Structure 1
Amino acid sequence: MEFNEKTISKESIYQGKIIDLEVHEVELINGESSKRELVFHNGAVAVCALTPDNKIVLVKQFRKPCEKPLLEIPAGKLDQGENREEAAARELEEETGYRAKSLQWVTDMYGSPGFSNERLSIYFADQLEKGDMHPDEDEFIEIQLFSIEEIAEMLQRGELEDAKTIIALQHMLLNYNHSK
């Protein structure tokens, strides 16, 4: 069986700064038709950053769709045609003031492939130098540092709710040697 849905028609609903919305009529595998509501996004990057004194850098910011602040690893959207690793380094510095000497790619993932094509690249950085933050003009961020033990406890208690953050921190806990 071929797993493919053929697009019969599509309608553009909205074109914005961050996302575009379309409704597609598709032919299903069984020959029937259905509607698909799709969100198109240029992509994003995120960085799980570990300071020289073994603290994890998280940012706290209000997330309107959730109607509350969330703790997350630093992250942001890609500009059109932007290199993912360079974007990750840029976002880390803009949101936290930390500069990474190097980034290690962790994974690429789709967060919500049922309706969005947003592809997120996660990186790890542990050789950081402190600089100055340069958040976007509509970004209000509070940096918070946590020990590896605190992060493990927060994950165990379900205190972190952002998927990219949970995935990146679990990966970091499993794959990196943190003893100094």
Structure 2
Amino acid sequence: MSNTTTPRVEKSQFAYHGFFDVHVDYLKWPTGFQNTYTRLDLCSSAAVVLAQTIDGRFIINLEYRHPTGKWLLSCPGGRVDQNETPLETVKRELLEETGYGGGTWQELPSIYPLPAITDQQIFYFFAQDAVYLSAAKVEESELIKTVLKTKQELYQEIQNKTPVDGILCTALFLWQLL
């Protein structure tokens, strides 16, 4: 990269506090151009897992996502709590959301899914040979059904334009790189 100079934050205003925070930054660019930039602080990173059972089926969430008004195929996962590592988060979330656990775990590359509006980082993991341990214990604000899909069935769902969380597509891509 030839030009790595970044804009200077002249002022930052806190605009909203809730499940996420909204900030408005006043930027001055190296060229002298000035503008405002609205960004979200999601208050934590997230961690997700693409998990497979011993027989090779993927453990997938069919989850209602209110902003879309739809049920989406997705990966188990959630916010990384302050006292947890991303791996601890996904192990807990896989068990809570699906009842599955165990197996062999591998960290995949992490990504920034929406860098234009937030600095949130998502940590990806692959769990192989996960086993059913107990009934799922989802939060009251979650509507989740666990479905088991072969690779072919999952790809067919995507080709058939079944609503899919982009995080699942990224997980499948990263898994293919193994």
SS at match of 1:170: helix
**TM-score scaled to structure 2, two decimals?**
0.90
Contact 1:48 1:124 in 2 (8 A): yes
Tell me the alpha carbon deviations over residues 8-27 of structure 1, each in whole angstroms, 9 at most, x when there is no partner. Answer: 111111222x3111111011
Task: Tell me how far apart the structure 2 counterparts of residues 9 and 153 of structure 1 sit (CA, whole Å).
Answer: 49
Q: What is aligned with 1:149?
A: 152
Deviates more, 1:58-67 or 1:112-121: 58-67
Structure 1 position 37 matched with structure 2 position 38? yes
- Give the counterpart of 1:107 among 90, 109, 112: 109
After TM superposition, give the deviation of residue 156 of structure 1 in Å. Answer: 3.7
Match for residue 162 of structure 1?
A: 165
Give the Cα–Cα distance (whole angstroms) in 2 for the partners of residues 169 and 155 of structure 1: 11
Structure 1 moving runs of 4+ over 4 Å: none
Aligned equivalents of 1:161, 1:61: Cα separation in 2: 10
Which residue does 1:87 correspond to in 2? Answer: 89
Instruction: Answer whether contact 2:48 2:78 (CA < 8 A) is retained.
Output: yes
- Deviation at residue 161 of structure 1 after TM alignment: 3.0
Match of 1:48 in 2: 50
CA pair 22-81 structure 1, distance change in 2 beyond 3 A: farther
Task: Provide the C-alpha distance between the structure 2 equivalents of 1:5 and 1:142, rounded to a whole number of angstroms.
Answer: 45
1:76 aligned to which of 70, 75, 78: 78
Which residue of structure 2 aligns with residue 137 of structure 1?
140
Tell me, yes or no, if the aligned pair for 1:89 and 1:103 is still in contact at 8 Å: no
Structure 2 CA distance for aligned equivalents of residues 53 and 66 of structure 1: 32
Does structure 2 conserve the Cα–Cα contact (< 8 Å) formed by 1:2 and 1:29? Answer: no
Residue by residue over 1:72-93, the C-alpha shift from the partner in whole angstroms, topping out at 9 and shown as x without a partner, is 0111111124211111111111
Listed one character per residue, the Cα deviations across residues 89-138 of structure 1 (whole Å, up to 9, x for unaligned) are 11111110111333211111111000011110010001212122121121
Does structure 1 residue 23 correspond to structure 2 residue 18? no
Counterpart of 1:118 (choices 110, 120, 129) is 120
Gaps of 5+ in 2: none
Measured on the aligned residues, the alpha-carbon RMSD in Å equals: 1.6
1:5: which partner in 2?
7
1:62 to 40, 43, 64: 64
Q: How many percent identity over aligned positions?
A: 25
Cα distance change, pair 29–154 in 1 and its aligned pair in 2 (3 A): farther
Q: Tell me, which stretches of 5 or more residues in structure 1 are unaligned?
A: none
Could you tell me how far apart the structure 2 residues matched to 1:167 and 1:143 are? 19
Q: Which moved more, 1:84-93 or 1:132-141?
A: 132-141
